[in-house]
């Protein structure tokens, strides 16, 4: 029997559990007494057998020999029960190890999932930042587009005003062109008349030139005749003075 664990300590643990209203189980008793589970089970089985024996015993008690025989029988039954319990405990320990291994695997899976979850959270946070940046860029782009549209509308308005002004100027120019066409028509008539006058002047000038040429010829003939006459006069003068 393990040191410090005996029938009295187990009995005190049972009474303490009952006083506190807790369940009297092998594990709860072992929690108070310590020691191995097989030892606690053996001692509790003996105490339970003694309690049953006291309930069945006559009021005047039983002899020591009978009590010894009963205790020996109880001891054999306790040994058998303890062996069976140890086998069950062995199976329980195997099952417990399996459960612990499964729990360890589960904890490993949980840890891996927690790590993956942290990675997903970090990635989600990164996506969130990228989305915020993309939204800011989109808002800035939309603002520039809206500003450009407003500027284009203003420019279109100015172009329309310019077109209207050009239409007015064109109408005025067409009116001036119509007046210019009338002036051009009058100018053409004047030019035609001037052409006629020029042709007439050219004819007159030609006649004048002809008359001038004829006059020049006559003048030349006259000068030649005059020269001959002067020579004749001088000859006559010389001849007259010689006589």
What's this model's pTM, rounded to 2 decimal places?
0.29
Tens of pLDDT, residue by residue over 146-194, are 777 788 778 778 878 888 888 888 888 888 877 767 776 777 888 888 7
Place of tokens 């189980």: 25
C-alpha closest to that of 14 among 35, 2, 28: 28
Q: What is the pLDDT of residue 230?
A: 85
| Residue 195 pLDDT class (50, 70, 90 cuts) | confident
Q: What is the pLDDT of residue 92?
A: 63
| Residue 138 pLDDT class (50, 70, 90 cuts) | low
Rounded Cα distance, 5 and 10, in Å: 7
Tens of pLDDT, residue by residue over 60-71, are 555 666 666 766
Q: What is the pLDDT of residue 178?
A: 77
What are the backbone dihedrals phi and psi of residue 117, each rounded to the nearest 5 degrees, phi first?
-65, -40
Rounded Cα distance, 52 and 118, in Å: 60
215 vs 2, more confident: 215
C-alpha closest to that of 42 among 93, 4, 76: 76
Percent of the chain residues past pLDDT 90, beyond the cut: 10
Q: What is the pLDDT of residue 30?
A: 92
Ranked by mean pLDDT, the top range of 46-55, 152-161, 217-226 is: 217-226
Average pLDDT along the chain: 78
C-alpha closest to that of 43 among 89, 90, 79: 79
Tokens of 101: 């291994």
Q: What is the pLDDT of residue 28?
A: 93
The answer, yes or no, to whether residue 227 has pLDDT greater than 80, is yes
| Residue 81 pLDDT class (50, 70, 90 cuts) | low
The answer, yes or no, to whether residue 58 has pLDDT greater than 60, is no
The answer, yes or no, to whether residue 127 has pLDDT greater than 70, is no
Tens of pLDDT, residue by residue over 4-49, are 788 899 999 999 999 999 999 999 999 999 888 888 888 998 888 8
Q: What is the mean pLDDT of residues 192-219?
A: 80
């Amino acid at each position: 029997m393990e040191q410090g664990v005996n029938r009295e300590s187990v009995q005190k643990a049972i009474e303490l559990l009952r006083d506190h209203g807790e369940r009297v189980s092998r594990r709860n008793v072992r929690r108070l007494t310590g020691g191995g589970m097989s030892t606690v089970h053996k001692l509790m089985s003996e105490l339970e057998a003694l309690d049953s024996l006291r309930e069945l015993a006559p009021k005047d008690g039983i002899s020591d020999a009978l009590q010894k025989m009963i205790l020996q029988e109880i001891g054999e039954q306790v040994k058998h029960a303890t062996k069976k319990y140890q086998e069950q405990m062995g199976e329980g320990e195997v099952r417990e190890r399996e459960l612990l291994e499964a729990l360890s695997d589960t904890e490993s899976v949980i840890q891996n999932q927690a790590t993956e979850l942290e990675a997903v959270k970090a990635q989600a946070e990164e996506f969130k930042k990228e989305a915020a940046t993309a939204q800011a860029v989109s808002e800035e782009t939309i603002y520039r587009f809206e500003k450009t549209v407003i500027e284009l509308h203003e420019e279109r308005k100015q172009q329309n005003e310019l077109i209207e002004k050009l239409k007015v100027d064109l109408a005025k120019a067409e009116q001036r062109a119509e007046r210019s066409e009338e002036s051009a028509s009058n100018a053409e008539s004047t030019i035609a008349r001037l052409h006629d006058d020029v042709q007439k002047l050219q004819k007159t000038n030609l006649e004048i030139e002809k008359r001038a040429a004829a006059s020049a010829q006559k003048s030349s003939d006259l000068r030649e005749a005059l020269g001959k006459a002067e020579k004749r006069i001088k000859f006559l003068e010389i001849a007259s003075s010689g006589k």
